[in-house]
Amino acid sequence: MQIDAAVLRAVNAPLSVESLTLAPPREGEVLIEMKASGVCHSDWHCVTGDSVIDLPAVLGHEGSGVVMELGPGVTGLSIGDHVALSWIPACGACRECDQGLPNLCQTHLPNLWAGL
């Protein structure tokens, strides 16, 4: 799939809109056609070098869109489903997940901050 994306190639450099080719989804992955996307302050830390990431990079971890392809092993979603993305993984089994609060997942939230 061909997409246009704003790419960060160097710290403190302007983003450049480039055409990119996306590989098909792998095991457990989903390809989403983005309808809306946000770049927040944590992305800005990547631009300024305060957060170190591998470059080049496409920034943004908040958004919504439509499921276009399902990788092997994906269940619970169908092509055409409308979805919202979250940068916090959720286990789906802890108390918070059971209460519909996956953004507070106690299984994955502590591990997320350990990687920053």
Residue 116: per-residue pLDDT: 42
- pTM, full prediction: 0.73
Please name each of the domains of the chain with its CATH number. 2-85 (3.90.180.10), 89-116 (no CATH)
Count other C-beta atoms under 10 Å from residue 32's C-beta: 20
Q: Distance between the two ends of the chain, CA-based, in angstroms?
A: 30
pLDDT tens across 47-81, in order? 999 988 889 999 887 889 999 999 999 999 999 99
Residue 81: per-residue pLDDT: 98
Among left, alpha and beta (phi > 0; psi -120 to 50; other), residue 64 is beta
What distance in Å separates the CA atoms of residue 70 and residue 85, rounded to the nearest whole number? 15
* Residue 52: Cβ-neighbour burial (10 angstroms; 0-12, 13-18, 19+): exposed
